[in-house]
Amino acid sequence: MPCTSCRSALPPAARFCPFCGSPCAPGPVTAKPTGRKVVTVLFCDLVGSTALSGALDAETLRSVTLRWFDLMRLRIEEQGGTVEKFIGDAVMAVFGVPTVREDDARRAVAAALAMREALTGLNVRLEQGVGVRLEMRIGLNTGQAVTGSALLRQAMVSGEVVNVAARLEQNAAAGEILIGPDTLAAAGPGVRTTETGPLLLKGKSDRVAAHRLLGLDEEEGPEALRRFDLAFIGRTGELALIDETLDRVVRTRRAERMVIGGEAGQGKTRLVREWLHRATATAGGPRHGVGRCRARGEQPSLGPLADAVADLLRSGAAAVPSPELDLLHQGLLLGGTPHPSPADTCAALAKVLAGLCEAEPVVLVIDDCHWAAQPLFDFLDRLLRALADAAVLIVLLTRPQLFDVRPELALGTVPLGGLSDAEAQLLAAELTGGAAHGEPLGPRVLARVGGNPLHLEQLLVAGVPVDADSVPLPLQALIGARIDALDPSEHQALGLASVLGGDFTADELTALAAPPAPAWTGSELRPVLHRLVRHRLISPDGGAFRFAGGLIQEVVYASQSKQDRADQHERAARLDSVRQRGSAAVGGHLEQAYRYRVELGAQDAHTDGLRRRAADALAEAGRLALAHADPVWAADVLSRATARYATGEPGSTATRRRLGQTLLDLGRGAEGRALLEQVLAEALAGGGEAVETAHARLALASVGRSAGADESPAEAAGATLALFAAAGDDLGQARACLRLAQRAQEQGRHRSAERLLARALDHAVRADAEPERAAALGATGVSLWRGPQPVAYAVARCRALLADQGAGRRAVRLTLNCPLAVVLALHDDHDGALACLAEAEHLAKRLGYAEADAFLPIFTATVADLTGRREEALLSLERAAAAARDLGATALLRSALLDAARIRLDLGDWRTARDTLAELEGEGAQPARPRAESADLDGLRARIAAARGQAATATRLAARALATAGRTDSPVVQGIAALDLARTALALGHPAEAAAAATRARGRFEVKGHLPAVRQAEAVAARCRSRSPGHGPAVGGVTGAGKEAPR
């Protein structure tokens, strides 16, 4: 095995490399990275070192350089950075390794400024001693990096963040500090910079917006990121609780401590600020002082308390001069120390506070107590005991990690949880300038922020869509610091949980744990999960757990190495709980395992096996999604499966065909047709699967892209039905029978259509295919509307089908509610019809089928027309026609145009009706039109010809329409043709012939039970009786009351 550092061959059992002295790493040659973190990298380099070497003796130069190195290291380490290495006369340091802190970027900025200031002082001494000055330049960059093991002589961090930091340093002038845009964002407010303009850095294709660092104002902690100028939202219960506590303190004159706990960004500081603002705005409000613990160990142990007391005294709470006050000024208030002793300091402070609270109560607030030194809490305990008969309230603000070391403080703590969804919406409106400037937050965004106000603010100001997968760097740092502070078992549990997603169980984590990480028993894992609950990183959810916010899960997941993610996803795919969630869950885990192994360069058989298993699982998920009428989800998983299959693999053809069909359903016609034509092309080349080819042929014929010349959907169905039957393919048989039934309906042969639809329904049920079941039942409803069955029977039958087939099937309820709405309108049940349409519209939006945008407005227009709302009907038909054109759905377009022409004609606008029919003839020209459409079209043409005074043409067309309608079994088609004849004859001045035709029409409508059309026929008959026998034709217009029944 070679040495991991110098790659020299190692003797057997060597513990150290005999060539470079590096420790010999056990196991694989390349040590596994420990994880991924957001870090800030600092590069610092001396400028002009070559000239310096010519001006100084070598030993002097070495001494000067070492002094510079030591000084730079000191300033870096003072801010919590780690020097990774010295490279010649350059220094590379990292902030975030080994421990991530939420303010690493700010620490790095402070360190860079301190290094520059320190060099100024060093140069004064160098000029005096050896007559030289040193110049240096610094570059800073923040981003995610892979962290390695220093023990194995690996680089502590690696990744693009390191390269960009080095390039920024190289582009800086002497004395300059250049920082990257992510460092500026992560460092928070108070960083003073000037822009240098976009820089083209070596190795980067895009320019980097660098900033020249000028200074840093004193702003610290997460509250520096918060906006306090916004309206205060929510927290009424917590405000009332603080009021009650202070009232009790005043009433009993007994000092109390109040602890408010919550994670970073939950609004602890804002809550107390708001309360103090309200409390001090009234007479008799409390005097208060605020102090804050600092994270860098810059304060003495009692420093936060000293700051709070000093703030109290500055705020107008003038203390009477006394020996006790003098003692505080000489000790606690001077240096934050209990001088001369804790006992004396405590007694003096108690005496001063007791004096101050005689007129008004006193409130001392100490923020960020999770960073406090432990002696502070001991001193506060002593102070509370000493404050007898004093109205003093001490409020401690802390994160939950304090309770690990001071569990007694957890008792009685006021927990500050997240905002409710409604409150989060209000905050978002405040941040975006009001609801009018943005859409309400979606469920996914609300789940990501988990009610945390700071998380929401940072998402909204990050400049990226709030539902994007990226997490703003300040939040990555804030959450990453919480994660990095966990002990190894907590970190492991959280990492495993992040792979499973938002919800998980203890049993799943136990099963997912595997070497090299230690395995758990249930009893060992439970306390770990309870600690994570206490840390507010997860929360119990019945018998399971969930992350406290989606952003936490995302940051935890991003912190795992790709190798860990790959291994854990592969194991997750084998979990029983994941398998029970279905093939989509299994396929998703396998897909991720494959992806990360490929990104790590794996090209072995195991990796390829993961790819194939992922493709098969996703393909099955897509098939099931299609079967359950979820085309949007189906398109997603089928696209992913298609991307994973290799050319010619089993399952590839079926998946591409299903994806093509799904894309057609979603209105993505060009993409869908391309995939289906690809399947057909493979068949022509001799490599296609017969059944899949037949499915593709039928689907293409249905959208006007036939395999042969002008092959109709019905012809394609007739050619493929036997093949589907021989293969036992119920889905294919259902689809073929549907196309054959559609042709029968177009010909007005509804009894034959119903028999074919019964076959289609049987096959769809066998195939467990909800879209085909829905299509068969919806088409059955259309035949009940248009066919020979009376309306009363049609209503009862549609309702029975809904009750029997519609439970839990949204697509079925959509397609059946449409014809049911029409037959209810035929029966004058207008309210029932509108209720059915409302449910259908609601379901159509949820399902996402593009064809619904065309067919649903046609049904809506039919009901509107039947209830006398013709202008509304025309608007619906315009929408239907536009959607049908976009989809290339010629049958639906013909239907919309015919209905629109009839309404225009009934309104007396025969010219617009004529133009609409001209478009129809251009769209649908074909050798032989279906009978129902021919009868409808000829009847309309006859009425237009009569209006224009073309008697012979009108008479011929009306007679032909009546004859064509007679060859159908549709009372509706027959009645409309007879009524068109009556209207034509009346317009030509033949009232007797018109009356006979109107009577005939009324008879057909009465047989059907079509009440609106019966009234219309009666109205035409009455007009015929009012006409004298010798009355001339009504040339130039179409008049009359009432509207003939729609198609």
Q: What is the CATH number of the domain that holds 194?
A: 3.30.70.1230
Note whether residue 206 is domain-resident: yes
Mean pLDDT of 216-244: 76
Is residue 90's pLDDT more than 60?
yes
pLDDT band (50, 70, 90) for residue 232: confident
pLDDT at 1029: 58
Structure token digits, residue 946: 């009569």
Is residue 4's pLDDT more than 50?
no
pLDDT at 711: 81
Distance CA 560, CA 157 (A): 14
How many Cβ atoms sit within 10 Å of the Cβ of residue 945?
23
Is residue 853's pLDDT more than 70?
yes
pLDDT at 582: 92
Q: What is the 3-state secondary structure (H, E, C) of 81-145?
A: CEEEEEECCEEEEEECCCCCCCCHHHHHHHHHHHHHHHHHHHHHHHHHHCCCCCEEEEEEEEEEE
* Strands ordered across the beta sheet of 256-261: 287-292, 362-367, 392-398, 256-261, 414-415
Residues 454, 329: one domain?
no
Mean pLDDT of 373-378: 91
Distance CA 811, CA 814 (A): 5
Distances (CA, A) of 343 to 309, 371, 381, 386, 611: 17, 24, 12, 10, 70
pLDDT band (50, 70, 90) for residue 401: confident
Read off the pTM. 0.78
Is residue 52's pLDDT more than 80?
no
Is residue 162's pLDDT more than 60?
yes
pLDDT band (50, 70, 90) for residue 896: very high
Residues 208, 110: one domain?
yes
Tens-place pLDDT, residues 634-693: 999 999 999 999 988 889 999 999 999 999 888 888 899 899 888 888 877 766 688 988
pLDDT band (50, 70, 90) for residue 12: low
Phi, psi of 17 (to 5 degrees): -70, 125
pLDDT at 681: 85
Q: Which has more pLDDT, 441 or 505?
A: 505
Residues 253, 398: one domain?
yes
pLDDT band (50, 70, 90) for residue 229: low
pLDDT band (50, 70, 90) for residue 377: very high
Residues 326, 395: one domain?
yes
Is residue 306's pLDDT more than 50?
yes
Residues 215, 252: one domain?
no
Residues 967, 1005: one domain?
yes
Residue 1037 is classified by DSSP as -
* Domain span including residue 45: 35-219
- Of 123, 149, 124, whose CA–CA distance to 68 is shortest? 123
Mean pLDDT of 408-427: 88
pLDDT at 28: 36
Number of domains forming the structure of the chain: 5
Q: Which has more pLDDT, 963 or 1041?
A: 963
The mean pLDDT value of the chain amounts to 85
Structure token digits, residue 780: 């059955």
Is residue 432's pLDDT more than 80?
no
Residue 8 is classified by DSSP as P
Least confident of 148-152, 213-217, 955-959: 148-152
- Of 528, 534, 502, whose CA–CA distance to 513 is shortest? 528
pLDDT at 1040: 36
Beta strands 135-147 and 177-179, pairing class: parallel
Distance CA 685, CA 681 (A): 6
Beta strands 177-179 and 544-547, pairing class: unpaired
- Of 825, 826, 786, whose CA–CA distance to 1009 is shortest? 826
Note whether residue 411 is domain-resident: yes
* Of the residues 395, 415, 435, the one at which a domain ends: 415
Is residue 5's pLDDT more than 60?
no
Note whether residue 595 is domain-resident: no
pLDDT band (50, 70, 90) for residue 1025: confident
Residues 401, 434: one domain?
no
Least confident of 701-705, 788-792, 994-998: 701-705
Residues 78, 178: one domain?
yes
Note whether residue 876 is domain-resident: no
Mean pLDDT of 52-59: 74
pLDDT at 18: 54
Note whether residue 707 is domain-resident: no
Residues 193, 317: one domain?
no
Note whether residue 743 is domain-resident: no
Q: Where are the alpha helices (DSSP H) in 130-235?
A: 160-171, 181-187
Residues 58, 185: one domain?
yes
pLDDT at 150: 46
Non-local CB neighbours of 862 within 8 Å, separated by 6+ positions: 822, 825, 873, 899, 1046
Sign of the C-alpha dihedral, residues 71, 74, 80, 85?
A: positive
pLDDT band (50, 70, 90) for residue 486: confident
Residues 406, 428: one domain?
no
Note whether residue 472 is domain-resident: no
Tens-place pLDDT, residues 686-701: 666 889 889 988 988 8
Is residue 61's pLDDT more than 90?
no
The percentage of the chain sitting over the pLDDT mark of 90, rounded to a whole number, equals: 50
Residues 50, 165: one domain?
yes
pLDDT at 775: 94
Structure token digits, residue 390: 């004093």
Mean pLDDT of 331-345: 89
Mean pLDDT of 452-469: 71
pLDDT at 24: 58
pLDDT band (50, 70, 90) for residue 1: very low
